[in-house]
Each structure stands twice: as structure tokens, then as C-alpha cells.
Structure 1
Amino acid sequence: MNVQRIGGASVSVWWELRRLKEKLGLDCALEKARVVADERKWDDFINAMSCVFAKRKDQPLKLAYDATFNKETGECKLGFYDGNIIQTLKGLMFKGN
């Protein structure tokens, strides 16, 4: 069972990695995280994400979002209640070696 601790490794990153079925052909933290997520090894995934005590900003993988646009006008779509730009998940961002 995956349990996301507050400030810990992102479960959403875990699920995005599980969607990647093909090898990435890289020898880095990204491929290691993909393999352990595919093998359902949560404890190894936490280690691949820089351990339990790493701050979110220091973790090698993050979710990548992009603004949602109106196809007719080209304007960013805004939230009805708060007026913020609506963003959708597009994939993962990787920083590291």
C-alpha cells in the first residue's frame, strides 16, 4: 500500500512513472525511479526520490503542468471561483544526473 507522507515523495510522480512502460535508455535516477515504480517497490522509489527527508524542491522528479487554452480565442482558461489559470498535468520534469 502506497502511503504519501506530508512532504514526502509524490504519489502522483509514482503513478506517472508507472505509466511509462518502455525503458528510457538512460543510466540515471530517472530510469531507476521508473524501474522501481514499475516493480511496485515503494521503499526503493522513496530512496530514488532522494530519501524521506529530502525537501520537495530537492527531489529529482516533479510533475509538469501546462496552462489550458481556449482553442477559439487562444486565451488561458481561468477557474470559475478563483480566477486562477487552469493547469493540466502534462508529464514529468527531471533534474539531475
Structure 2
Amino acid sequence: MENKEYTTRQEQLARFAKAIGHPARVAILEFLAGQSCCFFGDIHEVLPISKATVSQHLKELKDAGLIQGEIETPKVKYCINRENWKVASMLFSDFFGQCMYKKGNCCE
């Protein structure tokens, strides 16, 4: 049997999709994206999510590279990772735009 592997682009897109695959993570990303600078504070205080739940979701987002955080006692600084945010935006745009670039209407 032939060994088939996913492309780097497919793996990266899937990693980003998994990271934003929960409404709490979408809420966290929307909150951070709406900040004019990095957020110093406890996100659980501004979103309707418990502290433990926020920690789990922040870890997922950070592991996917969509956010970055640094501990600056007693608070943690969270920011959107702008470089990876652009990569994710481009990957999703290309992925969802595939049908539009083909001749005819492939979606019907």
C-alpha cells in the first residue's frame, strides 16, 4: 500500500481549524483581536468562562500559534500572534475560495 501523507498546508489549516473549533476560543480570539495592544489581565474576568476553562482554551490557542502569552507577575500578557494570524487568514481564504476559482459553478 502506498504511503500517503498530508501536505504541510493541510496540517497547518487543520491545526488552526481545531484551535478555533470551540465557541469559547472564538470569543477569546475576538476579545484579543479587539484590543489595541496586548491584554494584561485575567480573561476569565471579562468573558463568561471559568478560570480553569480559560486556561485550557488559552493553551490550545497558544499551541496552535494563534496567540502568544508571557507571564509578568502577577498577570499574564496575551496578544494575537499577528504573523500566524495572517497565515491562518490566508489559508482559510484560499481554502474557502477554491470553488470560486474553478470554471462553472462547482458548488451546485
Common fold by TM > 0.5: no
Q: TM-score, normalised by structure 1?
A: 0.26
**Structure with greater proportional helix content:** 2
